[in-house]
Amino acid sequence: MGFSDADLAAIWLTLRLAGVTTVLLLIIGTPIAWWLARTRSFWKGPIGAVVALPLVLPPTVLGFYLLLAMGPNGAIGQFTQWLGIGTLPFTFWGLVVASVFYSMPFVVQPIQNAVESLGERPLEAAATLRAGPWDTFFSVVLPLARPGFFTAAILGFAHTVGEFGVVLMIGGNIPGVTRVVSVQIYDHVEALEYAEAHWLAASMVIFSFLVLLALYTLNPAARRK
């Protein structure tokens, strides 16, 4: 026994989706987290709540609205059609967009906490030592908040690997395009192929365990204590 070609395709697709999503989230989520950590604006509460919504919403609700938004009449759909790349549902990039929303809080919140606990002082010290804002970010914030970024990347990746409902709503079940591991397991079970389901399911358990183990043992913050 082992993985079938379809299983391997699903695994490869899942890893690719999670990897791309994590990279995008670190790029998009960092400025959001930075802003949330440092602003005194009235909008901090509302924006923070919107970012955290996927934590409490059923994935199907999120998937439903994203499907509408990315559809031919939705805002995102209009935009992508204007760009000449058609609509996103039932494509890999549709899944990426959905995953970015879905996993956003898992990336934003650890970074936000790390930046908040950093406080104002290291940034002020850097400014008095002639470091501009970008310089300060790379030479002071990134090294000091590294545990936060590390946690954010791991959680963002792992959470994307584990998503199911949103994928089903947005991407359906197209082999090699949108059929990720969780959907593949669902298909196996539907077809009463329990042995095949076991292989994938057990792999997911082991993978998740290893990820969390890495998070708790390798994380510089956890190690320092």
Q: For another protein, which residue of 28, 53, 127, 215 counts as binding (CB under 8 A)?
A: 127
Question: From the CB of 136, what's the least distance to another protein, in Å?
Answer: 8
C-alpha 39/C-alpha 59 separation (Å) is 29
Q: For another protein, which residue of 75, 125, 205, 213 counts as binding (CB under 8 A)?
A: 125
Query: Any contact of residue 41 with another protein (CB under 8 A)?
Result: no
Whole-Å CA distances, 174 to 61, 119, 143, 157, 184:
21, 47, 41, 22, 10
C-alpha 13/C-alpha 99 separation (Å) is 13
Query: Any contact of residue 222 with another protein (CB under 8 A)?
Result: no
Query: Any contact of residue 122 with another protein (CB under 8 A)?
Result: yes
DSSP 8-class letter at 41:
S
**Closer Cβ to another protein, 99 or 136, answer by number:** 136
**Rg of the Cα trace of the chain?**
20
Query: Any contact of residue 9 with another protein (CB under 8 A)?
Result: no
Q: For another protein, which residue of 18, 67, 115, 140 counts as binding (CB under 8 A)?
A: 140
User: Which residues lie below 8 Å from residue 196, measured CB to CB, with a gap of 6+?
Assistant: 1, 4, 7, 188
C-alpha 105/C-alpha 48 separation (Å) is 9
Q: Which stretch binds another protein (CB under 8 A): 20-28, 44-52, 87-95, 134-142?
A: 134-142
Contacting positions for another protein (CB under 8 A):
121-122, 124-132, 135-136, 139-140, 143-144
